[in-house]
Amino acid sequence: MFRRVLWAAVLSGASGTAAMACPDFTIPPQQSYQATGQQLYAPAQFNVVAGGQHALGDCPQIRPGSDVGSGFFPASPDFSFQLSGMQPYRLVVSVVSKCDAALLINTASANWYYDDDDNGNLDPLITLTQPADGRIDIWIGTYDGAYCDATLKLETFDR
C-alpha cells in the first residue's frame, strides 16, 4: 500500500513539473502593447527570435481550437496585446521567419489557437474572425526546436 501511495505522489509531482515547462499566459510577457482595431488596420510589425525549449506535445492543458501540431515555444508569451474596438474586424496574425516557425495564441476569450504553415514558406498565420476586446498572448516558436529571426505581423480587416 505504501508503495502505491509513494508511486502516486511521484507521478503527480512529475505531471506538475511538465505543466510548468509549457507556454503559460500567467507569466509576464517579453513585450506588451495596447492597440485598437482601427490602429491595426495599418499592419503592425514586431521583430522577435522564434523558438523555445518547451515541446507543445508535452502540454496537455493546451488544446488549440484550430490546428493541432508540434512545436517548441518559450514558457512566457513573446507578446501580449491589450486590444479594444475589435468588434467590426477580423484579426490576422502572421509570422515571416528564416526557419520553420510556429504560432500559438491565447485569446481574451481564453481560447488557444495554433498554426504551423498557413502563411506559406513554412510560416504560420491565424485569422481570428471575431476577436474579443481584451488581452491576447502570442508565442512564436519553431516546429523543430531551432531558433531564428522572425517578424510578427498583426492586421485587421473589415468583417
Domains of the chain plus CATH, in order, are 22-158 (2.60.120.380)
Per DSSP, the residues of 67-96 read -----EE-SS-SEEEEEES-TTEEEEEEEE
Contact 131, 87 (CB under 8 A): no
Residue 10's pLDDT is what? 34
What percent of the chain has pLDDT above 70? 85
Query: From the centroid of its chain, how far is CA 159?
Result: 23
Taking the C-alpha atoms of residue 49 and residue 93, their distance in angstroms, rounded to an integer, is 16
Count of beta carbons in the 10 Å neighbourhood of residue 148: 15
Q: Is the pLDDT of residue 112 over 90?
A: yes
Mean pLDDT of 92-96: 98
What percent of the chain has pLDDT above 90? 78
Q: Is the pLDDT of residue 54 over 70?
A: yes
Q: Is 45 left (phi over 0), alpha (psi -120 to 50) or beta?
A: beta
Taking the C-alpha atoms of residue 150 and residue 96, their distance in angstroms, rounded to an integer, is 6
Taking the C-alpha atoms of residue 32 and residue 47, their distance in angstroms, rounded to an integer, is 13
* Helix-strand-coil split of the chain, %, nearest 5: 15, 45, 40
